[in-house]
Amino acid sequence: MATTDEPMTAGQMRDAEDWTMLTTPESALMDRAASAVAHECGRLLASRPDGVEGAAVVVLAGSGNNGGDALLAGALLAERGAVVRVVPCAERLHERGAARLSGAGGVQAELSSGALLVAGADLVIDGIVGLGSRAGLREPVAGVVALIPRTTPVVAVDLPSGLEADSSADEAPHVIATSTVTFTAPKHCLVEHPAAAAAGRVVIADVGVDLGWRSA
């Protein structure tokens, strides 16, 4: 397992992940990612009198692996006593992540209730889109994101949704994170301004991706 401080492109990350998954199950990488996200959420919730216990956590989840990571992180928080609600931001959710969160007591809401839920949340997890997405968020998801109070902690999975991994641009609608838990290496949007201003605190988590592909 390894990390690097050198920014990697979305294409480089896909190559590294594909190389790693020749010998490591994708589920193992996702479980480690979820653990890192949940850890950062716990750090941000530690200022509450009861910490994670009883915290209102809203997971904004898309259909891809970032959404799966967010759902799995939500399950870990639910197991610690958080009240976790999922707002689906796509037609379907990551199957394993959704099942794990449901088993931990998480509740799936409707997108139409997203604005109300984020307004009352103690913390929001952003797992809407991932590395391969283009800049910007579409309605009605963009409208929900815009209504997250600026005082509410937001933890982005890998990158704030709406930013493009390989770009420094920030003109399109996007999530503004308190913390971004990214995996293996920083992405260009997390370290190059003006986009980097939306990332908040950047945590580089080691999820077991093998960087040996670069010399293989």
The answer to whether the annotation marks 47 as part of a ligand binding site is no
Count of beta carbons in the 10 Å neighbourhood of residue 157: 35
Ligand-binding site membership of 63 (annotated): no
Residue 67 marked in a binding site: yes
Verify cis geometry, omega within 30 degrees of 0, for the bond prior to 140: yes
Tell me: is residue 133 an annotated ligand-binding position.
yes
132 among the known binding-site residues?
yes
161 is in an annotated binding site: yes
The answer to the question of whether 96 is labelled as a binding residue is no
Whether residue 18 is annotated as binding a ligand: the answer is no
The reply to whether 136 sits in an annotated binding site is yes
Q: Which amino acid, residue 116?
A: L
Long-range CB contacts for residues 148-151, cutoff 8 Å, separation at least 24: 148/118, 148/119, 148/121, 148/124, 148/175, 148/176, 149/118, 149/119, 150/176
Q: Is 114 within any annotated ligand binding site? A: no
Was 143 annotated as part of a binding site? no
Q: Which regions of the chain does DSSP assign to beta strands (E)?
A: 56-61, 83-88, 107-108, 123-127, 154-157, 179-183, 201-205
The answer to the question of whether 126 is labelled as a binding residue is: yes
Instruction: Write out the binding residues for K(+).
Output: 66, 126, 161
Instruction: Write out the binding residues.
Output: 65-69, 126, 130-136, 158, 161
Instruction: Write out the binding residues for (6S)-NADPHX.
Output: 65-69, 130-136, 158
